[in-house]
């Protein structure tokens, strides 16, 4: 993220938006279970809220400096911070009961890598688990905030199909003026090669 983006994502204005608008809208009526993965927490304003909603939260952050700060801030809590790449996650399959991603997918540098991230989320979720989140839509202010920064916008009109291609079902995508939310689930019964051999 560029310098402005790093500053803004720590402001009270963004905290208010996260706590009062984005998270309530995305997570209303969503059960993430007791072992949740947050993909790309950044400075952790979303992590603060999520930590109160689940027994065990893992935050996966690719930026080493941000991950170190989060690790210090959440030491001794129910939050585990891991530094790593969400397109190649350091977790075993079917580890988590739910996963979330808030306004970070556009920081993934290509649609192909975004799709790889979706497939990785699908891999580490248990059968029946929910993947929910949000991302931003294009605007002049949004583009100015991303000067000299990675910005590969996700088209909400085609995102449902991308989630389905990654193996999710019950996909819902809903748009607002400057953002969109999504919800999807892993099929309750998954016929992976391992499961087929065991049956």
Burial label for 148, CB within 10 Å (0-12, 13-18, 19+), is exposed
Q: How confident is the model at residue 165 (pLDDT cuts 50, 70, 90)?
A: very high
Pick from 198, 125, 135: nearest CA to 168: 125
Least confident of 122-136, 142-156, 157-171: 142-156
pLDDT exceeds 80 at position 159: yes
Per-residue pLDDT, averaged over 21-38, amounts to 94
Per-residue pLDDT, averaged over 184-198, amounts to 65
State the Cα–Cα distance between residues 175 and 113, nearest whole angstrom.
23
Per-residue pLDDT, averaged over 178-182, amounts to 93
Q: Are 87 and 117 in contact (CB under 8 A)?
A: yes
The overall average pLDDT reported for the chain is 87
Q: Give the highest mean pLDDT range of 18-27, 61-70, 141-150, 186-195.
A: 61-70
pLDDT exceeds 60 at position 70: yes
DSSP for 132-147 reads EEEEE---HHHHHHTT
The residue with greater pLDDT, 138 or 53, is 53
| Strand order, beta sheet including 179-185 | 79-83, 56-61, 35-39, 96-102, 125-136, 179-185, 169-175
pTM: 0.84
Q: Are 177 and 138 in contact (CB under 8 A)?
A: no
Per-residue pLDDT, averaged over 19-39, amounts to 93
């Amino acid at each position: 993220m560029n310098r402005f983006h790093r500053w803004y994502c720590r402001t009270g204005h963004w905290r208010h938006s996260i706590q009062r608008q984005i998270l309530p809208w995305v997570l209303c009526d969503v059960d993430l279970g007791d072992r949740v993965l947050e993909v790309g927490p950044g400075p952790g304003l979303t992590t603060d809220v999520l930590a109160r909603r689940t027994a065990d939260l893992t935050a996966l952050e690719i930026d080493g400096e941000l991950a170190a700060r989060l690790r210090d801030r959440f030491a001794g809590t129910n939050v585990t911070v891991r530094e790593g790449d969400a397109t190649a996650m350091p977790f075993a399959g079917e580890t988590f009961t739910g996963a979330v991603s808030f306004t970070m997918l556009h920081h993934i540098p290509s649609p192909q890598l975004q799709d790889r991230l979706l497939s990785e989320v699908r891999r580490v979720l248990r059968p029946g688990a929910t993947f929910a989140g949000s991302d931003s839509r294009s605007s002049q202010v949004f583009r100015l905030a991303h000067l000299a920064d990675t910005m590969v916008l996700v088209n909400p009109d085609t995102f449902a199909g991308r989630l389905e291609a990654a193996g999710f079902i019950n996909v819902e995508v809903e748009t607002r003026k400057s953002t969109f939310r999504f919800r999807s689930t892993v099929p309750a019964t998954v016929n992976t090669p391992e499961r087929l051999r065991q049956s």
